[in-house]
């Protein structure tokens, strides 16, 4: 059995340390009230037994809480008081400097929690360690100086989660839609160097990757670009190549027809498109931003975004090449093709590509083939999105999310035109719905009272996000605010105007709707009573964001939080506060947003249809998924799911597996098993390899693909996922 030290390091549980600590407290009281050595030994044994039953690595604080309880059970109250006083005094000493041990454990790579905090960061790399070290300092400043004490306390207790506190000290926002069109067409500046409008598709792709890297280094969330913004440069290259071909043939006095020139031109053009797409894929995978990971970027593929038929044809060419290269994958250090985490791909389903007689149906078939092997692309239904995203002019809009799922609210600029690229999200605060449900103890009236209190707490926490950005100068991130990624403000100009009026959003996240409902009425979201209560909670959440928006002229929006490490944190906090409650806290994770529980046996189509009702009530972003086996030999089934998505839900994905063992060359599913300490580990079923450094595992974590493994809570969730198809 393992425990987690305060520094985050994981060590073997030693019951003798309990015996020593309790003995010291015991010796500090008068002999008449002391415990016997047998009683002290029994305390250590009982704590060890209780800890083993929880089936996860407990923190030192949790072990000490158990020790206190056991001392009290022995009715040794004077000893308990001495033990509690000693803990309190030690806590005061630690509070005087909260970051040293954390930072040192990061440098020595023995901080177990941080090592598994982000499934796309390698914590042994210097650049990642540097980012984490800075993050520890930022969190310390945020908790001691910048945030209200009740917000900090609620965050620490898992009542809410104040996202990305490790970046809060800086004036940084969360995620955005990069206005790549403006930057390519009108030029930009990178590191003080003027970048003019490119004269070829390949150059445009090269500039795009530089922009992606720069943007990623100036914010802490995801970004999205559209392939549509690269499409005009295909024709630029076409015309350039055509002139070159004609000149070459003329120089050797060859008589050729226009058709022959066009044929040679298109062949060379395809090569350039292939090289340009490859540049984006490999640059994104290999770039290392200042936060120690590859840029968290989403690539959007939407045919109807093109401004002309020729541009649509050229866009289709780029999309086809993007899907072909992603299907192939990238090579790992052993030279084997594997699934990369980024860029994330989103493919829009529309009338031009969803029916068998549609002009671009071949692209959807290729997308299905890619999904079956590489987990991407994910799918947006234009049909459903036009119904869900209606602006003040009454027009439906289809656009990409920012990163993995965060969606902007519909917005119309001063000229009456819809605008999405160049907009951003200010930040996220998530409420733990399960905690509200358990605190109410089955009393629905009490639930709504606590709910109201928690909403006001979240509101004040979100206002802290907004206030931290207020007054930010454009000079803080020139690539964003001055050179077109988001805006083109003057030097020294504040961004305040764009924090109001709907230009940007603030996200109220929510987690654990499934467990919340079950804690209140014992019903699942898949049952009528559970569904009804779940939808009522969602509507109430939206009432609050609407009220805040109307009062402050800030676009608050409800967001289905993609819990990664927080799913484990929330579960541990719930277990500590409420114990083990069957069906609610009996696992080391809670459910993402409105999702059906991963263990629930449900058909893929039934799941998507049910979750579509909840997704429509999550306007700030959410994504649904279905878990599927290896579908590479059953693409018809994949296509049937894709067509169902088009007709029924705005945004969804298919989860499969894509693993590789470097020890034996096994190309199949790496399994999750328990080791002798009860810890979940990854194991190759072919050769038994358990060294994570010698295997490539790709799993959908929570809207995006993770490749650097996960904490114990998320790993358990992945292990327990049932197939829906």
DSSP assignment of 295-351 equals --EEEEE-GGG-SSHHHHHHHHHHHHHHHHHHHH-EE-TTS-EE----SEEEEEE-H
* Catalytic residue (one of 512, 703, 706, 713): 703
The answer to whether 360 touches 320, Cβ cutoff 8 Å, is no
* Catalytic residue (one of 353, 425, 474, 557): 425
Is the preceding peptide bond at 343 cis, omega within 30 degrees of 0?
yes
The answer to whether 560 touches 622, Cβ cutoff 8 Å, is yes
Q: Residue 396 burial by CB count (10 A; 0-12/13-18/19+): exposed, middle or buried?
A: middle
C-alpha distance from residue 695 to each of 490, 701, 716 (Å): 49, 17, 19
C-alpha distance from residue 199 to each of 179, 184, 232 (Å): 19, 10, 11
* Catalytic residue (one of 402, 455, 661, 684): 402
Lookup: tokens for 689: 């390899």
Q: For residues 341 and 208, what is the distance between their CA atoms, to the nearest angstrom?
A: 19
Q: For residues 242 and 604, what is the distance between their CA atoms, to the nearest angstrom?
A: 49
Strand partners, 300: 226, 346
Q: For residues 337 and 330, what is the distance between their CA atoms, to the nearest angstrom?
A: 5
Q: Is 691 helix (H, G, I), strand (E, B) or coil?
A: coil
Residue 205 known to be catalytic:
no
* Catalytic residue (one of 66, 205, 301, 404): 404
Task: Supply angle C-alpha 666, 669, 674, rounded to 5.
Answer: 105
Q: Find the length of the chain.
A: 725
Task: Supply angle C-alpha 492, 495, 497, rounded to 5.
Answer: 125
Query: Of 513, 502, 570, 566, nearest to 540 (Cα)?
Result: 513
Query: Of 457, 566, 574, 434, nearest to 512 (Cα)?
Result: 434
Q: For residues 313 and 319, what is the distance between their CA atoms, to the nearest angstrom?
A: 10
Q: For residues 291 and 127, what is the distance between their CA atoms, to the nearest angstrom?
A: 7
* Catalytic residue (one of 35, 175, 370, 385): 175
C-alpha distance from residue 402 to each of 271, 654, 667 (Å): 30, 19, 32
Task: Give the helix/strand (H/E) hosting 278.
Answer: helix 258-286
Contacts of 243 (CB under 8 A, 6+ apart): none
Residue 174 known to be catalytic:
yes
DSSP assignment of 408-477 equals PPP-B-TTS-B--TT-BEEEEEEEEHHHHHHHHTT-HHHHHHHHHHHHHHHHHHHHHHHHHHTT-BGGGS
* Catalytic residue (one of 57, 118, 174, 696): 174
Residue 175 known to be catalytic:
yes
Task: Give the helix/strand (H/E) hosting 354.
Answer: helix 351-354
Lookup: tokens for 683: 């194991």
Q: Is 678 helix (H, G, I), strand (E, B) or coil?
A: coil
* Catalytic residue (one of 179, 406, 507, 689): 406
Residue 402 known to be catalytic:
yes
Residue 498 known to be catalytic:
no
Residue 339 backbone phi and psi in degrees, to 5: -90, 120
**What 3 state SS string does 42-58 have?**
HHHHHHHHHHHHHCCCE
Query: What is the side-by-side order of every strand in the sheet holding 425-432?
Result: 160-162, 425-432, 505-511, 555-560
Contacts of 95 (CB under 8 A, 6+ apart): none
* Catalytic residue (one of 421, 559, 660, 704): 559
* Catalytic residue (one of 113, 320, 564, 653): 564
Which ranges constitute the DSSP H helices of 587-650? 604-615, 635-648
The answer to whether 536 touches 542, Cβ cutoff 8 Å, is no
Q: For residues 270 and 392, what is the distance between their CA atoms, to the nearest angstrom?
A: 42
Catalytic center residues: 174-175, 402, 404, 406, 425, 559, 564, 703
């Amino acid at each position: 059995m393992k425990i987690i030290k305060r520094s985050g390091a994981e060590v073997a549980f030693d019951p003798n340390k309990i015996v020593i600590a309790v003995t010291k407290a015991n010796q500090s009281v008068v002999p008449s009230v002391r415990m016997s050595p047998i009683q002290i030994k029994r305390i250590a044994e009982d704590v060890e037994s209780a800890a083993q039953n929880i089936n996860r690595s407990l923190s030192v604080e949790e072990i000490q809480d158990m020790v206190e309880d056991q001392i009290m059970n022995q009715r040794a109250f004077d000893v308990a008081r001495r033990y509690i006083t000693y803990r309190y005094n030690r806590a005061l000493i630690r509070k005087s400097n909260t970051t040293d041990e954390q930072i040192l454990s990061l440098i020595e790579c023995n901080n177990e929690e941080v090592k598994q905090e982000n499934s796309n960061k390698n914590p042994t790399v210097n650049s990642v360690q540097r980012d984490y070290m800075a993050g520890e300092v930022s969190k310390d400043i945020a908790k001691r100086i910048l945030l209200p004490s009740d917000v900090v306390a609620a965050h620490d207790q898992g009542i809410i989660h104040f996202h990305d506190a490790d970046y809060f000290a800086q004036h940084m926002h969360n995620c955005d839609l990069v206005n790549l069109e403006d930057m390519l067409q009108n030029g930009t500046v990178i590191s003080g160097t003027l970048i003019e409008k490119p004269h070829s598709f390949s150059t445009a792709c090269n500039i795009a990757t530089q922009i992606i890297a720069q943007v990623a280094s100036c914010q802490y969330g995801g970004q999205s670009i559209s392939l549509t913004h690269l499409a005009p440069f295909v024709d630029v290259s076409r015309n350039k190549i055509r002139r070159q071909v004609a000149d070459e043939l003329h120089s050797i006095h060859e008589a050729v027809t226009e058709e022959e020139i066009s044929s040679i031109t298109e062949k060379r053009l395809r090569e350039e498109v292939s090289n340009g797409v490859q540049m984006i894929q490999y640059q994104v995978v290999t770039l290392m931003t200042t936060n120690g990971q590859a840029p968290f970027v989403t690539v959007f593929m939407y045919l109807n975004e093109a401004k002309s038929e020729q541009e649509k044809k050229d866009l289709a060419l780029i999309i086809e090449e993007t899907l072909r290269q992603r299907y192939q994958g990238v090579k790992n250090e052993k030279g084997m093709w594997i699934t990369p985490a980024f860029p994330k791909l989103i493919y829009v389903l529309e009338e031009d590509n969803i029916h068998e007689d549609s002009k671009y149906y071949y692209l959807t078939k290729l997308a299905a083939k890619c999904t079956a092997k590489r987990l991407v692309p994910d799918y947006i239904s234009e049909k459903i999105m036009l119904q869900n995203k209606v602006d003040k002019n009454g027009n439906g809009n289809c656009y990409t999310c920012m990163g993995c799922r965060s969606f902007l609210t519909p917005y119309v600029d001063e000229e009456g035109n819809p605008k999405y690229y160049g907009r951003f999200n200010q930040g996220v605060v998530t409420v733990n719905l399960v905690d509200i449900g358990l605190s109410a103890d089955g009393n629905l009236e009490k639930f709504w009272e606590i709910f109201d209190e928690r909403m006001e707490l979240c509101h004040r926490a979100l206002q802290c996000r907004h206030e931290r950005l207020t007054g930010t100068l454009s000079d803080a991130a020139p690539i964003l605010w001055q050179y077109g990624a988001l805006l083109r403000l003057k030097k020294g100009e504040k961004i305040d105007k764009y924090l109001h009026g709907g230009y940007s959003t603030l996200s109220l996240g929510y987690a654990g709707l499934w467990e919340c409902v079950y804690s209140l009425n014992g019903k699942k979201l898949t049952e009528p009573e559970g569904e009804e209560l779940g939808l009522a909670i969602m509507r109430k959440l939206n009432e609050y964001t609407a009220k805040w928006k109307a009062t402050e002229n800030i676009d608050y929006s409800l967001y289905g939080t993609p819990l990664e490490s927080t799913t484990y944190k929330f579960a541990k906090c719930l277990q500590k506060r409420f114990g083990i409650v069957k069906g609610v806290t009996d696992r080391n994770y809670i459910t993402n947003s409105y999702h059906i529980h991963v263990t629930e046996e449900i058909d893929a189509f039934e799941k998507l249809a049910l979750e579509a009702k909840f997704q429509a009530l999550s306007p700030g972003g959410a994504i649904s998924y279905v878990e599927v086996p290896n579908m590479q030999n059953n693409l018809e089934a994949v296509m049937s799911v894709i067509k169902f998505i088009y007709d029924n839900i705005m945004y969804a994905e298919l989860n499969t597996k894509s693993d590789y063992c470097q020890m034996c060359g096994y190309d199949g599913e790496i399994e999750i098993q328990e080791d002798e300490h009860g810890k979940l580990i990854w194991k190759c079923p072919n050769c038994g390899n358990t060294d994570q450094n010698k295997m490539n595992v790709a799993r959908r974590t929570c809207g995006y693909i993770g490749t650097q493994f996960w904490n114990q809570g998320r790993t358990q969730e992945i292990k327990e996922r049932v197939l829906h198809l």
